[in-house]
Chains A and B, each alone.
Chain A
Amino acid sequence: MQSEFLFFMQFFLTGLSMGSIYALVALGFVLIYKSTSILNLAQGEFLMVGAYICLSMTLDFGLNFIASFLLTMVFSVILGLAVERLALRPLIGEPIISVIMVTLGLTYILRGLVIMLWGNDIRQFNIFPQMPLDLWGVKIAYLYVWSMGISLVLLIFFAVFFKFARTGVFMRAVADHQTAAQSMGISVKRVFAISWCIAAVVSSIGGILIGNIGGVGVELSHFGLKVLPAVIFGGLDSILGAIIGGLVVGVLEFLSAGYLDPFIPALNEVFPFIVLVLVLMIKPYGLFGIEEIERV
């Protein structure tokens, strides 16, 4: 009984910390969707670029981890601004397929740039201690604890930001009703730009955390798509939903790895997507998403 509980907790806690990273990246998705109605399929590439920049600052230029982390953030802001200004702004009002396809075109460019600059190899950070932390018998790598901590701090920060900060309120206003917000004197364009910046920043933080766990490679970009189930689970336009969805999907992924592996090996690779299909079939707008009601 005791050991069974430990087994459960082991996977549960690992899942929770992975889920907090999912939640962070999902937050990026939701932010962009909420204010601009764009589903940014290049999120995974944002994440990969962030991880690569931080890695090469630390390893190739020998910078202190904190310094390279901050520099990466600066770069992410620039990337977010550039993408919004150059690629997405000309497409305001175009059909969904064009907008999706532009973000997919971005994935090509970012991937190409990363391969050109850093090559194809997977590299390791090796910053956090390898020894796992022992929590009453549950062993968890320091890395996971750190990821969970950083993600939680950021999530709380953004929750407060949207509730109280002026810009946060602007962003909610634009998400709620663009024209009304504009007539109140809020610059919609600025809000769009800020959403892209924040999305780029949170996903590169996610990328750095993930890169610490599994190494930095081009495969990191798939992580962006793996977050989709979390986003849908919580509802595409709900920040709370993104956080809960991320945690739930992370926990489900690791629990399925723990309990279903003997039956179907490596099921956890697609388990989030199976959840995605089920959610789409049962409750397409997620837990907290706003249902689109159509009237003729």
Chain B
Amino acid sequence: MPAGLYHENYRSDERIFQTWFVRTWLIVFLILCAVLPLFVSKYMISILIEAGIAIIACHGLNLLTGFTGQISLGHAAFMGVGAYACSILIGQAGVPFIVALPAAGIITAMVGMVFGVPSLRLRGLYLAMATIAAQFIIEFVIRRWDKLTGGVEGMYVDPGTLGPLQFNHHIHLYYLTFVLAVAATMVTKNIIRSRSGRAFVAIRDRYLAAEVIGVHVFKYRLMSFAVSSFFAGIAGALLAQYLEVITHESFTIMQSVDYLAMCIIGGLGHIVGAIFGVAFWFILERLLEIVTTTLNSNFPDHITWFVSIREIVFGLVIILFLIFEPDGLAARWRSIRAYWKLWPFSY
């Protein structure tokens, strides 16, 4: 605990950002994010949008897997539900974007709850397998329900509008994603501070004990599925706006695994974990891209190297993190911070 910090009432003890130092830096960071698009290239903006979308999705997954302890390998499929729901609502039903976006979230939440029902009886591995099944079934529906989703050819997404904002401009989409990512972070943080959040953590840590002290395990598991899928739906709807053409290939099990990997690298069960994980993932991806473009210009025969180097490096990163830093970057960040706070007089 930092020196000079004392609380006179519960309200101040429960504050999210307890010192002026943290609050100032947070505001600086948010302002930086807000003015960033004025200085960086178009390519950077599109990467930032992707990262923002991934942050929203990872908060959802972190809530389900990190806080409630339910492994989900179908997160990308739920994003697909959101993406198609939002695009169909805008394009074929003519619903305005501001209604379609939350509606996509709610539809995805309902689908998520359907696949969460097996959690009544299943845990751990078995639940993970139920989510794999969900992934494949949803993917199949997207691929085969041609009339609604365009089947394997995919589907054009009509750009959403919100007042003067048009989301086929990437700058506008950036601000929307930014606002929603901040909102998602705040919502997750506040859920975790609430009664439901404590119930989630209790279920994760020892669900039998939780049940004994009166936590309705099934209700909260289902709720966790619903909230997580809601986030996935919103992220999917944004991804659809970003991609402009969506096919089932944007929502395969590989993407599901990617999101889970981001959460693990960042640190499951930490709010900042989602953000750190996404940042790490995207930075590593860009670095690899630079490395492989230079490699490709020297060895033009090996054009597939980028794909394979990317896969191998990410696989290694996942395994090394699990072996050497199983709590992820968030835990490392915490220990570094603690070290500096007490430096040079650590006990």
Residues on A lying within 8 angstroms of B by beta carbon are: 39, 87, 90-91, 94, 96-98, 100-102, 104-116, 119-120, 225, 228-229, 232, 236, 264-266, 269-270, 273-274, 276-277, 280-281, 284, 294, 296
B212 surroundings in chain A (CB, below 8 A): 296
Once the chains are docked, how many angstroms separate the CA of A225 from the CA of B131?
12
Q: In the complex, what's the smallest C-beta–C-beta distance from A40 to chain B, in angstroms?
A: 11
| A91 proximity list for chain B (CB < 8 A) | 322-323
Chain B positions within 8 Å of A111 at CB level? 308, 311
Q: What would 7 A/B residue contacts be, using CB atoms closer than 8 Å?
A: A94-B326, A98-B322, A104-B261, A228-B132, A232-B126, A270-B140, A277-B133
Contact assessment for B137 and A101 in the assembled complex, using a CB-CB cutoff below 8 Å: no
How far is it, in angstroms, between the C-alpha of A170 and the C-alpha of B268 when the chains are bound?
Answer: 37
Report the bound CA distance from A94 to B317 in whole Å.
18
Chain A, Cβ-Cβ closest to B324: A90
B186 within 8 A of partner (CB): no
Q: Give A223 Cβ to nearest chain B Cβ, in Å.
A: 13
B71 CB contact (under 8 Å) in A96, A106, A110, A296: A96
> Are the CB atoms of B118 and A281 closer together than 8 Å?
yes
Q: How many A-B residue pairs have CB under 8 A?
A: 133
B316 at the interface (CB under 8 A from A): yes
The 0/1 profile, CB within 8 Å of A marked 1, for residues 115-152 of chain B is: 00110011011101110111011001000100000000
Chain A residues with Cβ below 8 Å from B122 are 280, 284
Q: Are B315 and A109 in contact (CB under 8 A)?
A: yes
The CA of A96 and the CA of B128, in the complex, are separated in Å by 10
Known: A101-B260, A232-B129, A273-B133. 16 other contacts (CB 8 A): A87-B323, A91-B322, A96-B128, A97-B65, A98-B326, A100-B71, A102-B322, A105-B315, A106-B315, A112-B312, A116-B312, A119-B304, A228-B132, A232-B126, A280-B122, A280-B133
Q: Say whether, besides A112-B307, A116-B312, A264-B144, A105 and B133 are in contact (CB < 8 Å).
A: no
- Cβ contacts under 8 Å, A284 to chain B: 118, 121-122, 126
Residues of B within 8 A of A276 (CB): 129-130, 133
User: Roughly how many angstroms separate A115 CA and B310 CA in the complex, as a whole number?
Assistant: 11
Beta-carbon contact of B318 and A269 below 8 Å: no
- Name the residue of chain B whose CB is nearest to the CB of A33: B125
Alpha-carbon distance between A274 and B121 when the two chains are bound, in angstroms: 17
Please, which residues of chain A bring their CB within 8 A of the CB of B323? Answer: 87, 90-91, 102
Q: Within the assembled complex, what's the spacing in Å between the Cα atoms of A229 and B133?
A: 9
Q: Which 9 A-B pairs have the closest CB atoms?
A: A108-B315, A112-B311, A105-B318, A109-B315, A116-B308, A112-B312, A270-B140, A105-B319, A115-B308
Among residues of B, the one whose C-beta sits closest to the C-beta of A98 is B322
- Of all chain B residues, the one with the shortest Cβ separation from A282 is B121
Q: Quick one: closest A residue to B125, CB to CB?
A: A39
Q: Provide the residues of chain B in CB contact with A265, threshold 8 Å.
A: 144
Q: A112–B305 Cα gap in the complex (Å)? A: 9
Q: Quick check: is B33 within 8 A (CB to CB) of the other chain?
A: no
Given contacts A101-B264, A104-B257, contact A269 B130 (CB under 8 A): no
Which residues of A sit under 8 angstroms from B311, Cβ to Cβ? 108-109, 111-112, 115
Interface string of B63-79 (1 = CB under 8 A from A): 00100000100000000
Q: Report A-chain residues with C-beta under 8 Å of the C-beta of B126.
A: 232, 280, 284
Q: Is B71 a contact partner of A104 (Cβ separation < 8 A)? A: no
Q: Contacts of A115 on B, CB cut-off 8 Å?
A: 304, 307-308, 311
In the complex, what's the smallest C-beta–C-beta distance from B177 to chain A, in angstroms? 27
* Complex CA distance for A274 and B117, rounded to whole angstroms: 14
Where chain B touches its partner, the secondary structure class is helix
Contact B144 A266 (CB under 8 A): yes
The residue that A274 contacts in the complex, of B137, B315, B316, B318, with Cβ under 8 A, is: B137
| Whole-angstrom distance between the Cβ of A91 and the nearest chain B Cβ | 7
In the docked arrangement, what's the CA distance between A87 and B323, Å?
8
B309 within 8 A of A: yes
B137, A104: Cβ atoms under 8 Å? no
Q: Which residue of A lies closest to B326 (CB)?
A: A98
Closest B residue to A86 by beta carbon equals B319
A296 touching B304 in the complex, CB below 8 Å, given contacts A97-B268, A264-B144: no
Contacts of B125 in A (CB 8 A): 39, 96, 100, 236
Which residues does chain B contribute within 8 Å of A294, judged by CB atoms? 208
Minimum CB–CB distance from B319 to chain A (whole Å) comes to 4
CB distance from A225 to the nearest CB of B (A): 6
CA distance A110 to B318 in the complex (A): 13
Partner of A106, one of B132, B317, B319: B319
Q: Count chain B CB atoms within 10 A of each CB in A87, A94, A108, A277 and give the residue with the most.
A: A108
Given known A-B contacts A91-B323, A112-B310, A115-B308, A105 and B260 have beta carbons under 8 A apart: no
A273 to B134, CA, bound (A): 8
Q: Which of A97, A225, A228 has the most CB of B within 10 A?
A: A97
Contacts of B128 in A (CB 8 A): 39, 96, 100
Q: A269-B140, A284-B126, A296-B212 are in contact. Are A225 and B318 (CB under 8 A)?
A: no
Among B129, B140, B257, max chain A CB count under 10 A is at: B129
Nearest Cβ in chain A — how far from B267, in angstroms?
12
A224 to B260, CA, bound (A): 19
Q: A112-B310, A228-B129 are in contact. Are A105 and B322 (CB under 8 A)?
A: yes
